[in-house]
Amino acid sequence: MTTTSTHLHGMWPARRVNGNASESRILTIEAIDLCFDENGEAHHTDHYEMMSDPRVEQVRRRELVVRRGDSFMVRLLCNRAFDAQADTVVVTAHVEPFGSEKVSFGNGCMVHMALETQQPQTGGATDATEPQDWGATVVGSAAGQDGVKETITVAIFVPPGASVSRWNLAFNCRLDATNGKSSFEIPDPFYVLFNPWCKSDLVYLEDESARQEYVLNDSTMIWKSTPKDRGMHSWNVGQFEVDVLPCAMFIVGVTGRVSPTYRGNPVRVVRALSGALSTANGLGVLRGRWTGDYGGGTPPHGWSGSVKILQQFYNTDEPVQYGQCWVFAGVFLTVCRALGIPCRAVTAFECAHDTESSLTIDIFVDDSNSTVAEYSEDSVWNFHVWDEVWMRRPDLGIPRYDGWQVVDATPQEMSDGMFKLGPAPVASIKEGAINTLYDTDFVYSEVNADKIYWSIDGSGNMHPTPLLMDTGSIGQHLSTKAIGFNRREDVTDSYKFPEGSQKEREVMRSVVVQGCQRFSGTCVASKQLSPVTKAADHGHGIQLTLRASSEHVLGKPFGIELIVSNSSKSVHDVEGSINLKHSDYTGKHTELLRTVPFSVTVAAGQQVSIKETLNYSEYRSTKFDQTHIKAFCMASLKGDASKKLFVNSDFSLEIPSIEMKLETKSDGSMAVVAQLQNPLSIPLTDGRFIFEGSRFTKPLEIRFPKILENELIKAAYPIAKRGKKCSTIVSARFCANELKHVSGYHAFDLQ
């Protein structure tokens, strides 16, 4: 590809007057070797599919992926040897723009490098004296077999602050004696990523095992419903798969509208990404839906990874349907790891959604033991999944706020006029520095708010009375995948001090002072209480407790027990009712299943048990996922309705798992076989296994129109061998109209 160079616009250096005038041939580059294997290993990018040899069925060229803050190598096949006294070579690089993006020398997105001949600086990305600007250096040469042509090896240094974008690269040659010129441009742009191995990069992460987990691991675990093993669900991150990196670049530049100038700033990038993944702000990757009607798309519980979502969005330019918090978090994690930003998913149980910035979750209950939604939009999610990204925060000027930052792509509340959240330093959340950028106050409430139940009467009482003040249940068991193992790591201590400790009380008091909401007085009062759950105490010694009376397994009877205890020396008659409700995991959508009135006499120092059971036929509504049931109980002493008692509890039902194993046939072909037995007493309709596997395997969906009661079904996911050893995980989901949130995974090594 030899042409006359006309695009340098006066950036050529002056011609040498006393150079070697005996050379009459213009230096011409005839071919270029982008050294994919060498650069892939040196830059930790060899797993990207575009860096590997194309599959037999694919027609594509290999594309170079490198990390900034280090040099990458190219080899130029030239018509003759490079003569530093006769030739001037200017290497140009510029960002490949999206649409009408402005790319110029002034905004750092177009660079010109004079090819140098001195040896490159040693130490690469970790040397204290590393260069801070682009550079191109000849580091070797070799004569061709014909004795005429020459192969020149050039090291190109990408500075640690370079735009994380696709870059075009060209070599422009001039023979100083004649001013003759030629140029050669690589056929496809190369990708520049963030570099956690480079000390000068804002995303530098010192620990190698952490880099392997949070940047290079292409699978992870996400916790839902419960912080136990049965709540662990595998997620195929798939950051190296086909179209994922190009899609990530597109999302940042087009959907997120981050200009090339700022695409090297990880703070700007992740903040934009938090708003770009949802259609709540317009164009977005995923359309969120929490209503239970998922017609025209895949239900959120049907996704087993990010690859299919990103490939579909990239190839159709249309939002993918549908997502909920763990899906948004999984896709965000994939985009960050693809770009080189260390990222992990974190689940918070009993997570507050404080819509009023009051540091309280206010739930209003009327005389019929029903919650009144119009009084407050606050809610407590059974669980909520967000992400943490690792980076320095020079914009804050407080070094202790470097490190993990919360970013949430699930649209909940507006920030700067858009649905987005973060990056909020985890350290600032723990300290209660709620005015720290960005959105630290909201995350602080998610893990620290008080939960207060208020009683209102049918006459429109304008002065609700507190039924229950719970200062310790919000923000429990914050969970992420452990480094190097498929098990849970608890990170609650990084978000807050132990509940009820003196330090936790001090932080909350400082937070209240910083706030400006009208409910602050309520918050102050409630925070003076001890951190245990406190009910209204009228001096009668009656207490209510709700607990499970049976093992809660989906498809089996659901049993609960109300215990009415009397610690006084008097006999009391207690009357009230228990409400059992279906609920989604956000706690916002509920449906009454049954009201159970009761009236009991409790002797002094005694307790009375009231048991209630729901058969599966009573809670099998397909409008809900059937795994979350809320129980509310309001009671009073007979003849004195003013002395109200209240208790509530949320219950999660255990769901089955998919059994998976690797099978090898006699011909050497391999497949992961998944099986599931229908656990319900009714047939399943529109059933489907959905698979995603890491390392060069394609998403697959296998349908089962009808599955009878107790029927065992199987599906096989073929595994493609790649000729080299690697570890892989196959993630699977099963969903049907009557059964949701069923998952499984199988981890194994490919030889």
What positions carry a catalytic annotation? Answer: 384, 408
d(CA 384, CA 588): 13
| Straight-line distance from the first to the last Cα atom of the chain, in angstroms, rounded to the nearest whole number | 40
CA distance 161 to 163: 7
Other C-beta atoms lying within 10 Å of the C-beta of residue 59: 6
Q: How many CB atoms lie within 10 A of CB 291?
A: 9
Please provide the DSSP assignment of 659-681 as one string: EEEEEE-TTS-EEEEEEEE--SS
Up-side HSE of residue 42: CA atoms within 13 Å toward CB? 20
Q: Residue 281 has which token pair?
A: 């702000």
Directed axis angle between helix 502-514 and helix 520-527, to 10°?
170
Is omega for the bond preceding 717 within 30 degrees of 0, making it cis? no
Compute the distance between CA of residue 54 and CA of residue 62 in angstroms, rounded to an integer. Answer: 7
**Bond preceding residue 438 cis, omega within 30 of 0:** yes
Question: With contact defined as beta carbons under 8 Å apart, do 750 and 702 qualify?
Answer: no
Distance CA 612, CA 610 (A): 7
Q: Which of 393, 413, 405 is nearest to 429 (CA)?
A: 405
CA nearest neighbour of 230 among 546, 554, 701: 554
Any residues with CB less than 8 A from the CB of 60 and at least 6 apart, and which?
50, 54
d(CA 191, CA 246): 9
Distance between CA atoms of residues 735 and 625, nearest Å: 11
For CA atoms 89, 95, 100, 106, give the dihedral sign.
negative
